[in-house]
Amino acid sequence: MSESEQFEPSERAEAAERLRKAGYSEADVQREVSELEQKSATAARIFDLRRIIGGLFVVYGVIVTIAGLTDSDAEIDKAQGININLWTGLGMLALGIFFLAWLKLRPTAAPTPPPLPPEAAEAAERRD
């Protein structure tokens, strides 16, 4: 939808006049951002970050856990006698699985577009 469909010419002239005189008013920002929100694609198209965090930490967890299982005594001594690779690896694995489980149990809800501002809603109705 283009601007000309939503606003009468007189309104546009008025808005332009206001812009020239006062610079920019709150109404201008509200209108501009509301229009952009209508056309915005992020909510509909962005992937779920939980999948990336889950995936990366499962991979890291497996790699570091394996490193822990194969660590030599020298490496364990360096880490104050704690098999830090093993524990960190298991911790990262658990975090990764947590994110994947959260994604599985509570998948992203279908996005609902924000309500149209009154004048834009009217314009949309007129078009239909």
Partner 1 sequence: MRTPTYLAAELRLPTNWLDYTILAIYFVVVLGIGFAARRSVKTSLDFFLSGRSLPAWITGLAFVSANLAATEILGMAANSAQYGAYTVHWYWIGAIPAMVFLGLVMMPFYYGSKVRSVPEFLLLRFDKGAHLLSSALFAFAAILISGVNLYALAIVVEALLGWPQWVAIVVAGFFVLAYITLGGLSSAIYNEVLQFFVILAALIPLTVLGLKKVGGWDGLTDSLTKSHGDDFVSAWGGTGIGSDNPLGANWLTIVLGLGFVLSFGYWTTNFAEVQRALSAKNLSAAQRTPLIAAFPKIFIVFLVMIPGLVAAVLVPNIGTPDSDLQYNDSIPYLMEQLLPNGVLGIAVTGLLAAFMAGMAANVSSFNTVFTNDIWAKYVVRGREDSYYVGFGRLITAIGVMASVGTAFLASSFSNIMSYLQTLFSFFNVPMFVVFIVGMFWKRASMKSGFWGLLAGTTAAMVNYFVLYKQDVIGIPTDQGANFVSAIAGFVAGAVVMVAVSLFTAPKPAEELEGLVYGTVSPGMAEPPAAGDDAWYRRPALLGWGAIILAAACYIPFSF
Select the residue interacting with partner 1 from 76, 90, 116, 124 (CB under 8 A). Answer: 76
25 binds partner 1 (CB under 8 A): yes
To 10 degrees, the CA torsion angle through 72, 76, 78, 84? Answer: 130
Helix ranges (H only) for the chain are 3-6, 9-22, 26-39, 42-45, 49-69, 73-78, 84-105, 118-127
- Cβ nearer to partner 1, comparing 10 with 44: 44
Q: Among residues 7, 15, 62, 71, which is the contact residue for partner 1, using CB under 8 A?
A: 71
Q: For partner 1, which is the closer residue by CB, 7 or 60?
A: 60
CA distances from 29 to 36, 87, 123 (A): 11, 51, 19
Q: Does 20 bind partner 1 (CB under 8 A)?
A: no
Over the range 30-43, which residues count as b (16 or more CB within 10 Å of their CB) and which as e? ebeeebeeeeeeee
Nearest distance, CB of residue 8 and partner 1, angstroms: 18
87 sits near partner 1 (criterion: CB under 8 A): yes
**Site residues for partner 1 per CB under 8 A:** 22-26, 29-30, 33-34, 36-37, 39-47, 49, 52-53, 56-57, 59-60, 63-64, 67-68, 71, 75-76, 78-82, 84-85, 87-89, 91-92, 95, 111
